[in-house]
Structure 1
């Protein structure tokens, strides 16, 4: 419960302040600028999330399963070296290829300029992501939560100060603000993590090879999965315009609130299932997966129903009336959200039980499927095509993941129904007890 509290707090701070910042920016920036800002976040998030998939999962797995201190230091040191090299490669790509990427996504040179301004943030992220992995490898989530919270708060303060003093507001300044906020978060995270650090670096070629061997598939899988989750915005930019991305980003921001528990659960479930796979067997892994998916659905279903019924109200509050064209996109996204818990947790579970190669190939197949479906839907349905394609891909992907989970852990849909119904029953019973106590008083 303690781990869940801090992890959900971390995800909540990310989504809450991200939403607040979005609400402010949506009323200050034009649709085109908002679209470019969304593309910037997509590129940087895909990189960082993919790198995290390579390093953090392997780091957490090998450190949490070892009782030898020297071995833990070697794993952490080797992980840091890989982290550094990958970040340098990404910076080199920005210098060489960002103009090409910006042009391909119909963002002129604005996206390229933002990425160049964000290079200090990429350097800070080397240390932030390393410290995050160290914390989680000791099953400590408090410092990670604090680090992310400080990042979000500082970014919000910088935006608010910019508006208050009526300073020049530009996309490049937003990229710089991101870098400053990451630096503040890194300092905060270090304060919580230094008790686990010995400040001795002993990277070993054998561990580097082992991490890449285990995490390499996760890295590729992460890239595929993160591109897949942002494919709607990327293809809308490519085949429609950069301004159309602002409408998809609006729906994504609201839809992201549904994913708070899901991503928090993934952080907690990974080390738990890794341990269960090693010491308790397949039945325990099956139970953890089914229980987690059912709990996530218990939160997702009522929220999704409300948003599907009142999309324009929600969009008006969050982004303003100029984004009402995103209403249908939001409704389609909410339907897709009902299928995501099973897929997200399934991919995470395969990695935790040492089947990253299978996860990689499934995500690769999913990306290929998503590209084809989204392209066809954009061709036939135009502006809303990417959202329609996302829903179709979510349904077909869930069916495929069902058979994979059925084969590898004996997954049963009936268990999800049972656990979800049990959760609602428990919540209803608890609510009645509270009401009865109040009536007695």
Structure 2
């Protein structure tokens, strides 16, 4: 009965998180599909740069708060929940205030280096979005720590769907889209999402009367490295676009962003599995030790690779068709960019689960140092290669830095939990027959039985 319960947890949680990630990428991608046709190359490039910066700002807070809250809340007794949640909200509030000040000061400077005056207004309105998204992060982390994912999925779906609906309606009605309107709609969507998330999390939303300095110390002590890791990781993923905007033009940044958005589709399974693995690995580390963590890493990476590989192969061999279909003729320069970015998609599952596993066993400092090193390498390679060979330099820089990060991560995992690279490949190939035997074959058996029964 216990095994069945565990299977149900993994299946249900995995499906919900894949749906959540898929809906997020789908709505983001569908909105991008419209925006790339409605906006000119300059405006689309400005929007890309704006989203790159706000992604980093979001990562600053979620990196400091999210993993620490999930780790301690999932492992602590119910009596401690009020103190942990209250302390987490306090840290989140302080980080939010600090980040708002930084955004307000930085907006004029960024608008100058990217020669885009309208960025100032976009960043000022975004402050409202940032406040609401902070509340959403807290609610989602609490639900995740309690091994619940329904509210995370529904709140995320509502947020993405409402923004996409505005873009779609504007396109159909031929309403002229201004970038500032898009940010205002983001704010409304975030407010609506926070309200939905509260409905699901309110039973587990427990506060204490006093802020615990002990828990502030624990959460911040753990979260400071996760924060550095998250920010560095985001920088590593967006620095190429930001440097393209500074060294070449916003339009070059937009062309590279198209390739990145397409490869984001490949990242759906990895994101979903990481969300499910993290609270489980934290608990299993406490109860079963590193042997269980080794299996979790190898199995989760192998499963992710099995889900990712078909998509990578399809997009690589049909990249010409995909770019023309999605972005149109004016972005034909994105085709070689897509082919290079797809190559490091096969390394992403290793990197993501590396961070997830090391964070769960308390090695956040190690994760932080590896990601920072990869980001610094990526930054240097981007500067050199973009200056020498243009847009393609950004793709090659990211590929090389990802390969370097992968090699370092595998050495560390081998030392810490004796991970076998070979086992991840074995689990990848085992996934297909196991999935067929466990889910597809029984489904066809039931269908066949129903047909035979109806014929009788």
- Equivalent in the alignment of 1:96: 105
Q: 1:2 to 1:338 in 2, by over 3 A?
A: same
Partners in 2 of 1:147 and 1:201 — Cα distance?
28
Name which of 49, 66, 72 aligns with 2:81.
72
Distance of aligned partners of 1:147 and 1:347 in 2 relative to their CA distance in 1, 3 Å threshold? same
Correspondent of 1:404 among 406, 412, 416: 412
Taking the aligned partners of 1:193 and 1:433, their CA distance within structure 2 comes to: 36
Task: Indicate the residue corresponding to 1:4 in structure 2.
Answer: 14
1:25 matched to 2:25? The reply is no
Residues 107 and 195 from structure 1, CA distance in 2 versus in 1: closer, same or farther, beyond 3 angstroms? farther
Alignment partner, residue 332 of structure 1: 340
Task: Decide whether the 8 Å contact of 1:102 with 1:108 is kept in 2.
Answer: yes
Kindly provide the CA deviation profile for residues 270-310 of structure 1, in whole angstroms up to 9, marking residues without a partner as x.
11111111110111100000000001100111111111111
In structure 1, the partner of 2:8 is none
Query: 2:376 is matched with which residue?
Result: 368
Cα distance in 2, alignment partners of residues 44 and 220 from structure 1:
16
CA distance in structure 1 between the aligned counterparts of 2:243 and 2:229, rounded to whole angstroms: 20
Shift of 1:232: 1.5
SS at match of 1:203: coil
1:182-234 CA-to-partner distances (Å, cap 9, x unmatched) read 11111111111111124555321221121111101111111111101112111
- Pairwise mapping of residues 17-416 of structure 1 onto structure 2 (< 5 A)? 17-69=27-79, 71-104=80-113, 106-198=114-206, 201-416=209-424
Deviation digits for residues 349-383 of structure 1, max 9, x if unmatched?
11111011111111111111111222222133212
**Does the Cα contact within 8 Å between 1:333 and 1:391 map onto a contact in 2?**
yes
Where structure 2 has 5 or more consecutive residues not aligned to the other structure, the ranges are 1-10
Q: 1:435 to 1:321 in 2, by over 3 A?
A: farther
Q: Is the 8 A contact 1:74 1:207 kept in 2?
A: yes
Q: For 2:348 and 2:171, how far apart are their aligned partners in 1?
A: 37
Secondary structure of the residue aligned to 2:147 is coil
Question: Following TM superposition, by how much is the alpha carbon of 1:171 offset from its aligned partner in structure 2, in angstroms?
Answer: 0.7
Rounded to whole Å, the distance in 1 between the matches of 2:129 and 2:212 is 28
Cα gap change, 1:393 to 1:167, in 2 (>3 Å): same
Question: 2 CA distance for matches of 1:128 and 1:402?
Answer: 34
Per-residue CA deviations over 1:35-59 (Å, capped at 9, x if unaligned) read 1111111111112123112111111
- Aligned residue for 1:354, secondary structure, equals coil
Contact 1:315/1:323 (8 A) holds in 2 = yes
Task: Give the TM-score taking structure 2 as reference length.
Answer: 0.92
Q: Give SS of 1:277's match.
A: helix
**Larger mean Cα displacement after TM superposition, 166-175 or 279-288:** 166-175
Q: Between Structure 1 and Structure 2, how many residues are aligned?
A: 439
User: CA 1:305/1:51 → structure 2, altered by over 3 Å: closer, same or farther?
Assistant: same
Superposed CA offset, 1:229-249 (max 9, x none): 112111111211111111111
Q: Which SS does the other structure have where 1:264 is aligned? A: helix
Alpha carbons of 1:410 and 1:333: their partners in 2 closer, same or farther (altered >3 Å)?
same
Structure-1-length-normalised TM-score: 0.95
2:4 corresponds in structure 1 to none
Structure 2 vs 1, CA of residues 29 and 408 (structure 1 numbering), >3 Å: closer, same or farther? same
Q: Within 2, Cα distance between the matches of 1:96 and 1:417?
A: 48
Given that residues 155 and 181 in structure 1 are in contact (C-alpha distance below 8 angstroms), is that contact kept between their aligned partners in structure 2? yes
Larger CA deviation: 293-302 vs 230-239: 230-239
Q: What is the rounded CA distance, in whole Å, between the counterparts of 2:440 and 2:70 in structure 1? A: 38
Residue range with higher mean Cα deviation, 13-22 or 81-90 = 81-90
Query: Given that residues 39 and 111 in structure 1 are in contact (C-alpha distance below 8 angstroms), is that contact kept between their aligned partners in structure 2?
Result: no
Task: Tell me, in whole angstroms, the C-alpha distance in 2 between the residues paired with 1:17 and 1:412.
Answer: 37
